[in-house]
A and B are shown apart, each in its own frame.
Chain A
Amino acid sequence: MQGHFPVGKVFCILVVRRREMKTKELEQQRIIQGLKDADSEVIDEFIQQFSRPLFGVILNYTKNPPDAEEILQDTLLRVIRKIDTFRQESDIWPWMKRIAINNSIMWLRKRRASRGREIQLEEFAPTFSEDGHLHGSLFRWSVDPEDVILNAELASQLYEAIQSLPFEYRVPLVLRDTEGYPIKQIASLLGLKESTAKTRIHRGRLAVRRKLADYLEGRG
């Protein structure tokens, strides 16, 4: 199942079905050796095999395709230059993905000038009565979270909801919810206090929840 996402000037296709990224051991050995030898055929193969998933990872952080292209170039180059430090017994994909994520974050931190707006809690939080009771009736969503893989429209809504967050909220949310990083590591990567990282993830989730609620509850 595929969802189509117009991202800037480049029309990207998000293949919602996740690909098993584990690389076969023999194949991996061959690629690593080829990169070490600067074998141009292997480098071309390496680009064909890994540039798409790496571009997908990077777009989660930068969302702007020209910026993502620049980061992707740098990531591929870093992978080749650091290939001697890679522990051969492990799988190469998580290692490359970590380089892509770190690179995206470094890139974003350098460009702090383009800060997004602050998300205020009141914008997306539910409302409460004076005695602290939740206002109004809330719908129960009749959706299985795993349906995102099968439902391109839902995936598109979710993707758009996450992409629309200012990067201060999007990045910690993607690191926590999409990549499963622990809060402590997110705070350290982003140079934030753990409490700030938690607040941003929470507010990001609330904003995404509201957007999906508008879609799933037919209010959008």
Chain B
Amino acid sequence: MRHFLNCKDCFGLLMDYLENSLDSETQKKLDQHFAACPPCLNFLESYRDCSKMAQQLRDQQVEIPKELENRLKTFLQEQM
């Protein structure tokens, strides 16, 4: 690993960086790069925001038509 990482190097390690699966030295180099490079920091934050937003969709409620509910009832009663 080179002493300094450029933007492309950091992009290639982004996933591992966010999974905390890099060795501490490399993780630190990425921290330093993001602290000094606003475009990369903006990219990192927007990429991370997408994951956080997707988390908000957990246990979403979906309306289902009454007919579907009735079909499910009939199906299960038949199977029991």
Out of B8, B40, B65, B72, name the residue touching A73 (CB < 8 Å). Answer: B72
Stretch at the interface among A25-33, A84-92, A104-112, A131-139: A131-139
Total number of A residues with any Cβ neighbor in B under 8 Å: 70
9 new A-B contacts, CB < 8 A, other than A12-B64, A38-B80, A132-B8, are: A55-B64, A139-B42, A141-B46, A143-B49, A146-B56, A158-B53, A177-B54, A202-B15, A206-B47
A201 part of interface (Cβ distance < 8 Å): yes
> What is the interface of chain A, defined by CB distance below 8 A to chain B?
10, 12-16, 18-19, 21, 38, 40, 43-44, 47-48, 51-53, 55-57, 59-60, 69, 72-73, 76-77, 80, 97, 125-126, 128, 131-134, 136-141, 143, 145-146, 148-149, 154-155, 158-159, 162, 173-174, 176-180, 183, 198, 201-202, 205-206, 208-209, 212-213
Contact with A along B15-42 (1 / 0, CB 8 A): 1100100000000000000000101101
Q: Are the CB atoms of A209 and B7 closer together than 8 Å?
A: no
Whose C-beta in chain A lies nearest to the C-beta of B49?
A: A145
> What is the interface of chain B, defined by CB distance below 8 A to chain A?
6-9, 11, 14-16, 19, 37, 39-40, 42-43, 45-47, 49-65, 68-69, 71-73, 75-77, 79-80
